A and B are shown apart, each in its own frame.
Chain A
């Protein structure tokens, strides 16, 4: 009983942490998608209108899955999509690191700071573990047998 409560409590903390990180990442990008498009282009994987399209859609997706984590009926998909996004972000950071790109990570909107790739990858790995944890709990709750009195 105590174990279940501890897991629920940890799940709640994990959801709050992930939601606050993704909301604070989404809001500056929503305000200035052109600057975020430039940050995307710096990764040299998308350019021009494709980067602008990604810069317009991605912040909304981040915001909605962040709110979705706190919404019981959107939790599973939000955690799943968040995990996929984090895998994508980690892959992009590793790719930029391997190519020696000295670029703004664009994680929380545009900034002039140089990336610390160790920190970026470790942070996103930690967030990925949290999102997988939430996703598994949400899946288990969905498929758990209904208790009857």
Chain B
């Protein structure tokens, strides 16, 4: 059983290595270029943006971008309504961020926002909250 498990672990490691080398999955240490729909922190700071925090509530409570709106994934419709209300009060770019470079939630939520608020300029923050901490 141990030998079988080790064989499965080895094959999984080989498969994972293939995903990383072939570019299917991003390398953890790689510095990816700015993807479509992303914005760098220095650029977002210049603009007067609406920040949307897509991390957990505890992470949001521990610290967040100035005046950031918390995106509650348990209540996406309510969160979306809150963002729309803020945007209607003063239309400006919306920037969604999650934990760090590796997270995908901000891109997903930015995509949903583009569908729900088609007139808004919407980005996901490159580097996520980690970019704020650097």
Contacts and interface: CB of A to CB of B under 8 A. Distances in A.
A88 to B, nearest CB: 15
B5 interface: yes
Q: How many B residues are at the interface, by size bracket?
A: 20 to 34
A44 interface: yes
A61 B8 contact: yes
A29 to B, nearest CB: 10
Interface string A59-85: 011011100100001101110110000
Nearest to B19: A56
Contacts of B108: 35, 38, 110
Contacts of A64: 8, 11-12, 15
Contacts of A41: 98-99, 103-105
A48 B4 contact: no
Contact of A48 (B20, B74, B103): B103
Contact of B1 (A55, A60, A80, A99): A80
Main secondary structure of the interface of A (DSSP, over half): helix
A68 B8 contact: yes
Contacts of B19: 30, 33, 56, 60
Interface in A13-69: 30-31, 33-35, 37-38, 41-42, 44, 47-53, 55-57, 60-61, 63-65, 68
A76 B1 CA distance: 7
Interface string A86-114: 00000000000001111100000010000
Interface string B102-130: 11110110000000000000000000101
Contacts, number: 111
Interface residues of A, number: 39
A81 B16 contact: no
A12 B95 CA distance: 52
Given A38-B104, A42-B73, A47-B103, A53 B15 contact: no
B76 interface: yes
Given A53-B28, A74-B7, A101-B74, A47 B55 contact: yes
A101 B73 CA distance: 6
B104 A49 contact: no
Contacts of A34: 25-26, 104, 107
A54 to B, nearest CB: 10
A33 B102 CA distance: 11
Given A35-B108, A81-B8, A102-B73, A51 B25 contact: no
5 contacts: A31-B24, A37-B102, A37-B103, A51-B103, A99-B74
